Amino acid sequence: MYIVVSALIIFNIEGDSFETFFDAIYWATVSLTTVGYGDIYPVTTAGRVITMISSLFGIAIVALPAGIITAGYMEALNSEK
C-alpha cells in the first residue's frame, strides 16, 4: 500500500520524469528497499523532497517492525532455555 501511495504522489508531482505509472511504482519499490539504481529519479525540488520523506518513512516502516519481530523471537528463544 505504501509503495502505491508513494508512486501516486511522485507520479503526479514529477509528470515529466516518469512516463508511466509503472515507472513510478518501480521507483517507489527501489527507493523503499534502499537499492536506488538511479535510472529513474525526480528532478524537481518538490519531487526530491517527496523522495527524502518517502525514503525516511519507508525505512521506518521496514526497520521498526523488523526490530519488534526480532525482539519477539529472542524473547521466545530465551524463555525456552
Residue whose entry in the numeric block shows the C-alpha cell 535510472: 39
pLDDT at residue 24 in the model = 92
Mean pLDDT of each 10-residue bin along the chain, 81 residues long: 91 88 91 78 89 85 85 89 72
Rounded distance between C-alpha atoms, residue 58 and residue 26, angstroms: 14
Q: Say which DSSP state 20 is in.
A: S
Radius of gyration of the chain (CA): 17
pLDDT at residue 4 in the model = 93
Could you tell me the CATH number of the domain that includes residue 20? 1.10.287.70
Rounded distance between C-alpha atoms, residue 12 and residue 8, angstroms: 6
Report the number of distinct structural domains present in the chain.
1
pLDDT at residue 69 in the model = 92
pLDDT at residue 25 in the model = 93
Domain that holds residue 22: 2-80
| In the chain, alpha helices (H) | 2-13, 21-32, 45-80
pLDDT at residue 65 in the model = 85
pLDDT at residue 41 in the model = 83
